[in-house]
């Protein structure tokens, strides 16, 4: 089974095209103004028009309201929603209302954090294990932080899952080997500066995943 890779936080045509060309299974568009990767709706629509049908378009949100979701889904022609800092109850409501698959982020620092994934059964379709950011951090992810991947060894996952947090072209093979992940998600690890994707790093990351 090939390992699937998502390039998240894309914002320019050249980096989006690189992700598609080099084999990304999913691309992520961020709709969260505090993030350096935030997209306006017109920008998202223009990028979405470049994505071929076999590549999924995910919208990335932080506890969004319905108005934002509706506008973003329409603009980005989204295939799925990635939710951060969103309760299981709200995730379930969003999933039912939009009828789109939901990826629910689970921030991880210790083994105890993994237990929160169980509450997402029926509220999400996929878990995204990400590194827990420091208290008071402006962003829930995209900071290049990683957690101890060994925490996932032997863990019984309540649904399909993806690995995120601090991945880059140099460590993604180790991360997959340690965790057994079949789906990975990268953002800051393929950037030259916050919010600025690097075409060569995108290509290197996807090449590293393909080689496994």
Residue 187 CA, chain-centre distance (Å), reads: 8
| pLDDT one digit per residue (tens) for the chain, 212 residues | 899 999 999 999 999 999 999 999 999 999 999 999 999 999 999 999 999 999 999 999 999 999 999 999 999 999 999 999 999 999 999 999 999 999 999 999 999 999 999 999 999 999 999 999 876 555 665 567 899 999 999 999 999 999 999 999 999 999 999 999 999 999 999 999 999 999 999 999 999 999 99
pLDDT at 143: 61
pLDDT at 145: 81
**pTM, two decimal places:** 0.94
Q: 118 phi and psi, to 5 degrees?
A: -60, -30
- Angle ∠(87,182,104) on CA atoms, nearest 5: 10
Tally the C-alpha atoms within 13 A of residue 2's C-alpha that lie toward its C-beta: 12
Nearest CA to 141 out of 119, 172, 174, 108 is that of 108
pLDDT at 5: 98
pLDDT at 211: 95
Pick left, alpha or beta for residue 180 (phi over 0 → left; psi -120 to 50 → alpha; otherwise beta): left
Total Cβ atoms within 10 A of residue 183: 20
Q: What is the residue range of 198's domain?
A: 4-210
Distance spanning both ends of the chain, measured CA to CA: 10
Q: Looking at the annotation, which residues are catalytic?
A: 8, 130
pLDDT at 124: 98
Q: 154 phi and psi, to 5 degrees?
A: 80, 0
Residue 175 belongs to a domain with what CATH number? 3.20.20.70
Report d(CA 61, CA 69) in Å as an integer: 8
* Structural domains counted in the chain: 1
Residues found in the chain: 212
Report d(CA 99, CA 46) in Å as an integer: 23
Nearest CA to 179 out of 196, 194, 164 is that of 164
pLDDT at 1: 81
The answer to whether 71 touches 17, Cβ cutoff 8 Å, is no
């Amino acid at each position: 089974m090939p390992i699937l890779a998502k390039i998240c936080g894309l914002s320019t045509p050249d980096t989006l095209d690189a992700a598609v060309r080099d084999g990304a299974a999913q691309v992520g568009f961020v709709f969260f103004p505090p993030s350096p990767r935030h997209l306006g709706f017109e920008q998202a629509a223009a990028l979405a028009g470049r994505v071929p049908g076999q590549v999924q378009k995910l919208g990335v949100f932080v506890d969004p309201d319905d108005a934002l979701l509706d506008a973003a889904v329409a603009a980005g022609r989204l295939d799925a929603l990635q939710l951060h800092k969103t309760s299981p109850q709200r995730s379930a409501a969003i999933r039912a209302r939009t009828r789109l698959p939901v990826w629910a982020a689970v921030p991880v620092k210790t083994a105890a954090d993994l237990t929160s994934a169980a509450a997402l059964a029926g509220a999400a379709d996929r878990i995204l294990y990400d590194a827990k950011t420091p208290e008071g951090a402006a962003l829930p992810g995209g900071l290049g932080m990683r957690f101890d991947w060994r925490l996932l060894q032997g863990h019984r996952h309540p649904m399909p899952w993806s690995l995120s947090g601090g991945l880059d072209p140099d460590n993604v093979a180790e991360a997959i080997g340690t965790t057994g992940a079949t789906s990975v998600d990268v953002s800051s690890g393929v950037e030259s500066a916050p919010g600025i994707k690097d075409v060569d790093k995108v290509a290197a990351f996807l090449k590293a995943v393909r080689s496994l």
